[in-house]
């Protein structure tokens, strides 16, 4: 049911906006009041906002300049991503980027930390922010910034996941925090980012490759054609013999993403309720294997 819901265009956009709301609220409530930085493009925007405020006294009143900077800097990134990710993906990313920018700017930042313990705040902020970003990516959208570049790498077949790419680039960001601020700010900001990146990779199912073997006594060509036409995945099948019954059984083998496995289960159950399905996650697939992001 979740699979089918997320393949409705408008439900996916709505889910992505909800993810942006969750991520923005987590950052503004748990991270910003402690003076920490989120990482990614938004982290650099937050540093720029802090420097403008401390050095020149420039503020935007009750709004956060970081959200405005974030939107402006995403424009060249989205132009670069247009050819690789396609018009639909870029359009949805624009929606999410605007949502992020608005939420970051208008969600009130508590005058005092909601939770005094800094490690707990980093843990909660990272988990909730990662969940928000994961919802966006699983909905076939992107919040912009480093996520877009990470998606481009995934689309081109790189084994670098979105979370790992963000974590690598953030090394530079936290080195900058260490230079400009205090070691505590850099360390706790990095701890937050580790939790957030971990949650993103756990939820971004399109990057997890899965192999499935289906054992059925029904006509294998009907199921194979349905997988090819519906999921756009190729299938290899052959005949086998059941050792216990000695009867003929058809074996189908397919590689796909974890995001598509629920639909495959539904297909198999529809074609043959007595079929046997074996699924192995986290396999490494090279060669002509298209990676789907939407």
- If one compares 60 and 266, the residue with the highest pLDDT of the two is 266
pLDDT tens digit string along 78-105? 887 777 767 777 788 888 888 988 898 8
126, 191 in Cβ contact below 8 A?
A: yes
| The pLDDT value given to residue 1 | 44
How far apart, in whole angstroms, are the C-alpha atoms of residue 242 and residue 220? 16
**Is the CA virtual torsion 48, 49, 55, 58 positive or negative?**
positive
Does residue 75 carry a pLDDT above 90? no
Q: What domains appear along the chain, each with residue ranges and CATH number?
A: 2-206 (no CATH), 208-281 (3.30.70.120)
For residues 230-248, give the mean pLDDT. 84
How far apart, in whole angstroms, are the C-alpha atoms of residue 216 and residue 277? 9
pLDDT confidence tier of residue 125, bands split at 50, 70 and 90: very high
How far apart, in whole angstroms, are the C-alpha atoms of residue 246 and residue 34? 67
How far apart, in whole angstroms, are the C-alpha atoms of residue 294 and residue 141? 7
The dihedral over CA atoms of 30, 71, 5, 198, expressed in degrees to the nearest 10, equals -40
How far apart, in whole angstroms, are the C-alpha atoms of residue 180 and residue 47? 9
Task: Tell me the pTM.
Answer: 0.69
Q: Kindly state the tokens that stand for 165.
A: 């790419």
pLDDT tens digit string along 140-195? 777 778 777 776 776 665 566 665 677 678 888 999 999 999 999 999 998 998 88
pLDDT confidence tier of residue 272, bands split at 50, 70 and 90: confident
- What are the residues facing 63 on neighbouring strands? 60
| The pLDDT value given to residue 192 | 92
pLDDT confidence tier of residue 2, bands split at 50, 70 and 90: very low
Q: Kindly state the tokens that stand for 125.
A: 């902020």
Does residue 293 carry a pLDDT above 50? no
């Amino acid at each position: 049911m979740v699979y089918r819901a997320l393949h409705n265009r408008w439900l996916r956009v709505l889910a992505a906006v909800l993810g942006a709301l969750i991520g923005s609220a987590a950052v503004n409530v748990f991270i910003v009041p402690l003076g920490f930085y989120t990482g990614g493009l938004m982290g650099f925007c937050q540093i720029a906002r802090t420097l403008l405020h401390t050095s020149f006294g420039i503020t935007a009143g009750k709004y956060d300049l970081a959200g405005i900077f974030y939107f402006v800097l995403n424009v060249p990134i989205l132009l670069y991503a247009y050819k690789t990710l396609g018009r639909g993906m870029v359009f949805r990313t624009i929606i999410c980027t605007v949502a992020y920018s608005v939420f970051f700017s208008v969600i009130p930042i508590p005058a005092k930390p909601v939770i005094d313990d800094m490690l707990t705040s980093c843990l909660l902020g990272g988990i909730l922010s990662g969940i928000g970003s994961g919802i966006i990516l699983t909905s076939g959208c992107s919040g912009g910034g480093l996520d877009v570049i990470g998606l481009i790498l995934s689309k081109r077949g790189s084994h670098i996941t979105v979370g790992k790419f963000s974590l690598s680039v953030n090394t530079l960001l936290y080195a900058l925090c260490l230079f400009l601020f205090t070691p505590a700010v850099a360390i706790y900001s990095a701890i937050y980012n580790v939790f957030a990146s971990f949650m993103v990779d756990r939820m971004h199912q399109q990057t997890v490759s899965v192999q499935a073997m289906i054992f059925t006594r029904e006509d294998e060509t009907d199921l194979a054609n349905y997988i090819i036409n519906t999921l756009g995945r190729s299938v290899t099948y052959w005949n086998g013999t059941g050792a216990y019954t000695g009867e003929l059984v058809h074996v189908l083998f397919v590689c796909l993403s974890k995001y598509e496995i629920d639909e495959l289960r539904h297909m198999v159950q529809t074609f043959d309720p007595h079929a046997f399905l074996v699924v192995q996650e986290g396999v490494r697939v090279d060669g002509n294997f298209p990676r789907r992001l939407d």
